[in-house]
Structure 1
Amino acid sequence: MIPLMLDLTGRAVLIFGGGEVGARKAAFFRHEADVTVISRSFAPAFDDLAVRRRRTDLAGMPDDDLERLVGDAFLVVAATPDAGLNDRIGRICRRRGVHFNNAAGEQGDVLIPSVIRGRRYLMAITTFGMSPAVPRYIRMRLEEEYGELDGMIELQGELRAMLKETEPSQEKRSAALWSILSDEEIWTALASDYADARRIAEERYLRA
């Protein structure tokens, strides 16, 4: 597997299973994709989720009917408590060339990662199901050690644009930006005064 960032705007994401797991999957996709959840019943967590719900009893449903439900979905998530049913849905998706994530059963061709999101960055982390605690630990350490990461990314973007105007050497531009990243005083200044952090960076690394 290789990591990718996909734009799912307007894409159809179909989730089988209306339990807590299905709700977490729906919450992951609902801000961007067109999400439909199919289940006999729905957990209270769905009450505040703006997704389509379709009440259908999946128990004992033949493959032909499941295939009709899959339809032209871009991505299918099997999140029922029945691993055998999830695997059947996965086999249908493979036949139809539909991307598939399996919450319980044979692994599909899509993993849904834990996401760490700032104003100006997005990180996806997976341990392939071995340790759900590790992504939470990484998020905690990131917040502790790099609480000003958004500010640094913004500063890097501004100064990179300035360097492109004044410094023809790509090697020197990269060295200046790396020096800014490595400057603890700039990180400290970002915590209280972005303008001061920018002043320090410009004086030390852009005007030298």
Structure 2
Amino acid sequence: MIPLMLDLMGRRVLIFGGGDVGARKAAYFEHEAEVTVISRSFSPDLEGLAVERQEADLSALADEALQALLAGAFLAVAATPDPALNDRIGRLCAGAGILFNNAAGEAGDVIIPSVVRGSRYLVAISTRGKSPAVSRYLRMRLETEYADLDRMIELQEEMRSVLKEIEPVQEERSKALWKILSDDEIREALAADYDRARAMAIERYLHA
């Protein structure tokens, strides 16, 4: 497997299973994709999510009925408590060329990672399902230790634009940006005063 980031805007994502696991999967996709949750019953955690619900007893459906549900889907998630049913959905997805994630059963071709998200960055973490606890631990450490990462990215973006105007050599621009990133005092200043951190970066590392 290789990591990719996909634009799912307007894409149809199906979640088979409306329990707690299905609700978590739906919450992951609902901000971008068109999500439909198909289940006999639905978790209260689905309340307030921008998802469509479709009631169906999945275990009673024949393959033809499941294939009809899958029509037009870009990605499907099997999140029922029945691994055999999940695997059956996975086989149908493989036959139809639909990306598939399996919450319980044979692994699909998509892994849903733990995500650290800022306004200017996105980090995905996965242990390939071997240890969700480690993924969660890494996410929490990143959120704690790099709480001001958005501000550093903003500063880097601004300083990069300035450097393009005053420094013609790419290697020298990269060195200056790396020094700003590595400067502990600038990082500490960012937490409280962006303008002060900006002034320090210009004074120390930008030279016309």
| TM category, shorter | over 0.9
Separation in 1, partners of 2:90, 2:51? 22
SS of residue paired to 2:60: coil
Aligned to 1:17: 17
| Cα distance between partner residues in 2 of 1:27 and 1:202 | 42
| 1:136 corresponds to | 136
Q: Which residue of 1 aligns with 2:151?
A: 151
Q: Do residues 85 (structure 1) and 95 (structure 2) align?
A: no
Q: For 2:110, give the aligned amino acid.
A: V
For 1:118, the equivalent position in structure 2 comes to: 118
Q: What does residue 34 of structure 2 align with? A: 34
> Post-superposition shift, 1:87?
0.4
Query: Structure 1 residue 202 and structure 2 residue 198: aligned?
Result: no
Give the whole-Å Cα distance in 2 for the aligned partners of 1:31 and 1:146.
Answer: 24
Other structure's SS at 1:36 match: strand
Shift of 1:142: 1.9
Percent identical: 67
Alignment correspondent of 1:51: 51
User: Residue deviations 1:151-205, cap 9 Å, x none?
Assistant: 1110000000111111110000000000011110101111111001010100110
- 2:158 matches 1:166: no
| Aligned-residue offset at 1:136 | 2.1
Q: Does 1:189 align with 2:189?
A: yes
Per the TM alignment, residue 23 of structure 1 is displaced from its structure 2 partner at its CA by 0.3
Q: How many residues align?
A: 208
Structure 1 counterpart of 2:75: 75
| Amino acid aligned to 1:81 | P
Q: Normalising to structure 2: TM-score of the pair?
A: 0.97
Deviation of 1:147 (Å) = 2.0
Moved over 3 A (4+): none
SS at match of 1:8: coil
d(CA) in 2 for partners of 1:144, 1:14: 33
SS in 2 for 1:165: helix
Deviation, 1:60, is: 3.1
The one-letter code matched in structure 2 to 1:185 is E
Moved more, 48-57 or 20-29: 48-57
5+ residue gaps in structure 1? none
TM-score (structure 1 length as normaliser): 0.97
**Secondary structure, counterpart of 1:59 in structure 2:** helix
Partner of 1:3: 3
